[in-house]
Amino acid sequence: MSGGMKVGAVIITMGNRPDELRALLDSVAKQEGDRVEAVVVGNGSPVPDVPEGVRTVELPENLGIPGGRNIGIEAFGPSGRDVDVLLFLDDDGLLAHHDTAELCRQAFDADPELGIVSFRIADPESGRTQRRHVPRLRAADPMRSSRVTTFLGGANAVRTQVFAEVGGLPDEFFYAHEETDLAWRALDAGWMIDYRSDMVLYHPTTAPSRHAVYHRMVARNRVWLARRNLPAPLVPVYLGVWLLLTLLRKPSRPALRAWLGGFKEGWTSPCGPRRPMKWRTVWRLTRLGRPPVI
């Protein structure tokens, strides 16, 4: 076993899945090696009963996914410094194996440049991984591990030094694309991201559009992502490609209306600080198979 690395876990909940949350916490408690300390953040709701030793934070209002996770990070000290690695897990997920935390320790210990690990998400009944859950363009084989340019928000591990260097998730995004914003900042700071098919979170197959705000926030945050992070010449190219792709997918009229409204909102509302990535980071993204124009 790799020693020395402390691992924590951050789980946010709306309090509406107590059985699934309990099962997830049990799977965290069963991880091999040193104990993984868990913090559950009630995002605008009370936290259901949790096992003894699990810390809880109850927020008076829903801060959104990135806001809730940032509160969880700070529960481990500024930028999570009380631990070396933080797992971020959806409250209706379940760690499939008992060695996931130990595999994370080994991965980060072996590669000083590794900043983020994205887990494979699999349906607990069929074992299938949805294509959208493989964070790369060549997503046909979910069993192939590789370097990637983004990660899955509810099934990942982050070296806390990343937060200390580049900051946390963007609170203002509330939902959608907050992972890519952090990923781009981490890559720009010299960190790498791995997708690992052997680190598995069981999660029921779902469609992202189940969220009422999906189309508006996906479009708004896509614009914010570009405005915050891309060199100026790439902003219209990136957003033009995504506008074209959205139209080619032929969304329903209400969905398209919401998407276009969000796209407009992304241009007319504050997006937070702008820190365009270096051109060498653009080249790194391109070499990793995902140039920041798509």
pLDDT, tens digit, 9 for 90 and up, residues 36-59: 999 999 999 999 999 999 999 999
Task: Indicate if the pLDDT at residue 103 is higher than 60.
Answer: yes
Instruction: Give which of 243, 246, 113, 229 is closest to 179, Cα–Cα.
Output: 229
Binned at pLDDT 50, 70 and 90, residue 3 comes out as low
Q: Beta strand 114-122 with 192-202: parallel, antiparallel or unpaired? A: parallel
Alpha-carbon dihedral sign for residues 202, 208, 210, 212:
positive
| Alpha helices by DSSP H, the chain | 18-29, 64-74, 100-110, 160-166, 178-188, 214-229, 234-248, 253-268, 279-287
Q: What percent of the chain has pLDDT over 90?
A: 95
Mean pLDDT of 152-169: 98
Task: Indicate if the pLDDT at residue 212 is higher than 60.
Answer: no
State the chain's maximal CA–CA distance in angstroms: 55
Task: Indicate if the pLDDT at residue 21 is higher than 70.
Answer: yes
Task: Indicate if the pLDDT at residue 2 is higher than 90.
Answer: no
Mean pLDDT of 107-131: 97
Binned at pLDDT 50, 70 and 90, residue 1 comes out as very low
Mean pLDDT of 29-42: 98
Task: Indicate if the pLDDT at residue 207 is higher than 90.
Answer: no
Distance between CA 271 and CA 172 in Å, rounded?
Answer: 8
Mean pLDDT of 101-118: 98
Residue 39 region, left (φ>0) first, then alpha (ψ -120 to 50), else beta? beta
Contact 96, 66 (CB under 8 A): no
Mean pLDDT of 15-35: 98
Q: Which residues pair with residue 191 across a beta bridge?
A: none
Mean pLDDT of 220-236: 98
Mean pLDDT of 139-159: 97
Residue-level pLDDT at 4: 85
The encoded tokens of residue 206 equal 């779902």
Residue-level pLDDT at 211: 54
Kindly report the pTM of this predicted structure: 0.96
Mean pLDDT of 133-138: 94
Radius of gyration of the chain (CA): 18
Task: Indicate if the pLDDT at residue 290 is higher than 70.
Answer: yes
Mean pLDDT of 89-108: 98
Residue-level pLDDT at 209: 55
